[in-house]
Amino acid sequence: MRPSAMTWVFLSVLALPALAAGQEALIEVSGATFRPLPIAIAPPIAQGDAASPAEEIYEALTFDLEVSGLFEVISRKAFLADPREPLGPEGIVWTRWADVAAEELLKFQVETGPQGLVLTYRLYEVATQRQSAGSTLEGRVADARRLAHRLADELVRHYTQGPGAFSTRIAFVRRAKGGPKEIWVADYDGKNASPIAHTRGISLLPAWSPSGTELAFTFFKKSLQYPNGHPQIWKANLAAGKTSALVASGDLNTGAAWSPDGKKIAFTLSRDGNPDIYVVNADGSGLKRLTRDPSTESSPVWSPDGTRIAFVSDRHGTPQIFVMDADGQNVERLTRQGNYNQTPAWSPRGDEIAFTARDERYAFDLFVVNVETKEIRRLTQDQGNNQHPTWAPNGRLILFTSDRDGGKALYVSSADGRVQRRISPRDGAEYTDPAWGPFPIAVEEKR
């Protein structure tokens, strides 16, 4: 039977309350807590005389994965598995790993080969008992730690599809007891540290060239005119071990920052006691003034795309973070909380700027401000004074100075501030002014 027009009317009337029932509240839940992935690193399987480098690799790898903030490395003491368990997958007793709540299992073996060390690793998913990654790395025996860093980089890439920053270098200022402040470079974890070619006098604020081959820094050059030293911008070629002056005008030149294309250097220059931001070509030519304000402008840093510069200015009374175009136009105030904000560091992703601020309890701590929303989040709290942040080139780690444990030391932290670890040795020296170097060139080419 063909439904008549009236039947349709009836049906539509009946449908109205059903429509009403469709008015459900949709509960939106966002803002997840991110949980580090529980991973177990099985005790290394050492072949031949590789036992001690294998332990060194294990220790460095554990440190890398923990400080990454991505993983929760399960304590070796908790392991129930047989330490002689093979590389697998045959012979792995999975329940033993599941029982210690490991979701991922990393097994590796180290042996000595003709080139030095040969590291073979396999990564497993405990729940599915499947191998998800695996490879072989080789390196010199002396570079056991760096082998671990490369493995950690591979793991970070495996899980996040982005590069790890464990094979990068850092620069910082080290001051031995009673000695002058010197520029040093080291691996990201503070190991393999050495001073750059010596220059007599105080050196501060190192800044990496984008290629990682040069450092710009502030050097207090003594002369008859300046018996206490004249702050100048100097450049060090790391491979050649040579240093040379770059800018030496005015009464003060300090706080160099290399532009991302490596062609320019922004810095603070003061004439007649009024510091402003200037830019100079990387060869020292073409000095150009960017800010013109009777107040103090300092600490310039470039945005990763090179179009903008963040800096500190006290033009409104207290030091605050500002942003301007790379030619000095369109100055904009970024921070409106706190009354002593300084040492900005632009994140490699470009969305955030880390900085040091003094809070209402007069403690210096690390904060991050979102460049677009200007929202501020806090990284450190209630652990001494924490200053001078610098980002790892992949934006996942931050290096800074802290006096939480007595003297000034270097600490590395996951970008969310959750995991913080000391990297500088307890040798009585003071460590300040950290600067995180770029990716090694080989990695850059690969990307």
Partner 1 sequence: MEFSRKEHGEAEVRPERTSVLARRPTPYRWAWMASVLLHALVFAAAFGASLSSGCGGRKEPEKPVVAKLVRLGTPREKHLLPRLPTAPPPPPASKQAPQVTPGKELSTPTPPQPPQPPKPQPEPKPTAKAQTPSATPTPPAQAAAPKSPEPKKSELDDILQRFAAADRVGKAEPLPGQPDGDPMGDAEEAAEGERYLALVQKRLRDHYVLPSTIPEAERIRLSAIVRIHIERSGRIARYEIEKPSGNPQFDAALEAAVTKASPLPPPPEHLLRTFANGFPVRFRY
Q: Which is nearer to partner 1, 117 or 354 (CB)?
A: 354
Residues 312/319, Cβ–Cβ less than 8 Å: yes
Residues 356/386, Cβ–Cβ less than 8 Å: yes
115 CB-side CA count, 13 A? 10
Quick note: the x/- pattern for partner 1 over 320-359, rule CB under 8 A, is: ----------------xxxx-----------------x-x
Quick note: the x/- pattern for partner 1 over 16-35, rule CB under 8 A, is: x---xx-xxxxxxxxxxxxx
Dihedral sign, CA of 243, 248, 252, 257?
negative
Task: Identify the DSSP state of 429.
Answer: -
Q: Which is nearer to partner 1, 253 or 387 (CB)?
A: 387
Q: How far is the CB of 289 from partner 1 (least distance, A)?
A: 32
Q: Which is nearer to partner 1, 184 or 400 (CB)?
A: 400
What SS3 class is residue 226?
coil
Task: Identify the DSSP state of 179.
Answer: S
Q: How far is the CB of 341 from partner 1 (least distance, A)?
A: 9
Element (H, E) at 213: none
Q: Which is nearer to partner 1, 29 or 224 (CB)?
A: 29
Q: Which stretch binds partner 1 (CB under 8 A): 85-93, 154-162, 247-255, 293-301?
A: 154-162
Q: How far is the CB of 376 from partner 1 (least distance, A)?
A: 6
Residue 437, burial from CB neighbour count under 10 angstroms (0-12, 13-18, 19+): buried
Question: What part of residues 57-96 is at the interface with partner 1 (CB under 8 A)?
Answer: 69-71, 75, 77-78, 80
Task: Identify the DSSP state of 180.
Answer: -
Q: How far is the CB of 73 from partner 1 (least distance, A)?
A: 12
Quick note: the x/- pattern for partner 1 over 367-396, rule CB under 8 A, is: x--------xxx--xx--------------
Cα–Cα distance for residue pair 21/408, rounded to 1 Å: 64
Q: How far is the CB of 7 from partner 1 (least distance, A)?
A: 7
Q: Which amino acid is at 18?
A: A
Closest to 395 (Cα-Cα) out of 151, 145, 66, 68: 68
162 binds partner 1 (CB under 8 A): yes
Closest to 189 (Cα-Cα) out of 281, 284, 83, 57: 57
Q: Applying CB under 8 A, which of residues 2, 4, 114, 272 lies at the interface with partner 1?
A: 4
Question: What part of residues 95-134 is at the interface with partner 1 (CB under 8 A)?
Answer: 99-101
Q: Which is nearer to partner 1, 14 or 224 (CB)?
A: 14
Q: Strands 386-391, 397-402: parallel, antiparallel or unpaired by DSSP?
A: antiparallel
Closest to 141 (Cα-Cα) out of 60, 50, 47: 50
Q: Residue 319's beta-bridge partner residues? A: none
Q: Which residues bind partner 1 (CB under 8 A)?
A: 4-7, 9-10, 12-13, 16, 20-21, 23-38, 69-71, 75, 77-78, 80, 99-101, 159-162, 336-339, 357, 359-360, 365, 367, 376-378, 381-382, 417
